[in-house]
Amino acid sequence: MKVTDHIKGAKSTLFSFEILPPLKGKSIQSIYDGIDPLMEFKPKFVNVTYHREEFIYKERENGLLEKIAIRKRPGTVGICAAIMNRYDVDAVPHLICGGFSKEETENALIDLQFLGIDNVLALRGDSIKTESNFRPHKYGHQFAQQLIEQVVEMNSGTYLMDDIQLEPTDFCIGAAGYPEKHFEAMNLNFDLENLKKKVDAGAEYVVTQMFFDNQKYFDFVKACRAIGITVPIIPGLKPIKSMNHISFLPKFFHIDYPEALSKELLKCKSNADVAQVGIEWGIQQSKELNAAGVPCIHYYTMSNSVSVKAIAKEIF
């Protein structure tokens, strides 16, 4: 079932979460162990991230360095199929532009359709670690907007190389939004206009980057509505879990902690202290969002369902 249909049919705020494929070589059990504790809150859909290749350099016998592409977290599509099969819940694979030609994207979408997957979250993806800027595949897409356009084309039965109409796919397409602005965008308005292009191209809902100040989400929704973005905007929340997160999350995701949260974090002496602050903050944020009637609250587990469970217990 499509994410938008889940939202339309909901009588109250929905619960959903995102998981990461395990590191290569780990079994699917680690995924189930993360999902099992959250099933009691009846998620309507579970997102599975996509991780593109990284490049490493290996020294050859002759002393020269060989550039090798590796993927540390493969398995997005397989995990989606396994989740749907085991839990009877909708899985939302993330689909990215980076590393994909248009043809590879088309084939990936055909695989998803055959598996009975109705949803995709269409993203550009970040640059790989060895590149300073995002570089699209030679035959791929530069922006998520173009990826969305490709999915919309397939939804109308138009495939890449064929001049005849083929069987249309029927994917519900989500896109990413950034209450605190995407880090590359010149300013928030420019970023909002680009979000509108994604929605105009066919994105049917937006999921936000994590934020820790609800006011930023409320302002973002207001600004989106003001420029004509009318689709549901699902807030994404991340419970802070460890001392490392205190600096890692703002650095990696380009977000700020509000003063009141940073004051609490400064008092923490251990990972356990931080996790407790993360849970309490997450409960506070979720209660307010829930009271505001948001369509769904989407939690970034980042392989930590313990904190998400503690928060969900208070809300759902």
Q: Which residues pair with 19 in a beta bridge?
A: 48
| Position 77 contacts ligand FAD (CB under 6 A) | no
Binding-site string for ligand FAD from residue 15 to residue 54, where x marks contact by CB under 6 A and - marks none: ----------------------------------xx-x--
> In the bound complex, what is the minimum distance in angstroms from residue 276's beta carbon to ligand FAD?
26
| Position 145 contacts ligand FAD (CB under 6 A) | yes
| Position 150 contacts ligand FAD (CB under 6 A) | no
> In the bound complex, what is the minimum distance in angstroms from residue 269's beta carbon to ligand FAD?
31
C-beta closer to ligand FAD: residue 203 or 277: 203
C-beta closer to ligand FAD: residue 144 or 275: 144
| Position 96 contacts ligand FAD (CB under 6 A) | yes
Q: Are 295 and 15 in contact (CB under 8 A)?
A: no
DSSP per position, 20-61? -PPPTT--THHHHHHHGGGGGG--SEEEE-----EEEEEE-T
Residue type, 128: I
Q: Which of residues 170-229 bind ligand FAD (CB under 6 A)?
A: 176, 182, 184-185, 190-191, 194, 197-198, 207, 209
Sequence-ordered alpha helix ranges (H) in the chain: 3-8, 29-35, 76-87, 102-114, 144-155, 188-201, 214-226, 243-253, 259-266, 271-291, 305-315
Q: Which residues pair with 233 in a beta bridge?
A: 206
Q: Which residues pair with 54 in a beta bridge?
A: 70
Residues that bind ligand FAD (CB under 6 A): 49-50, 52, 94, 96, 123-126, 143-145, 176, 182, 184-185, 190-191, 194, 197-198, 207, 209, 236
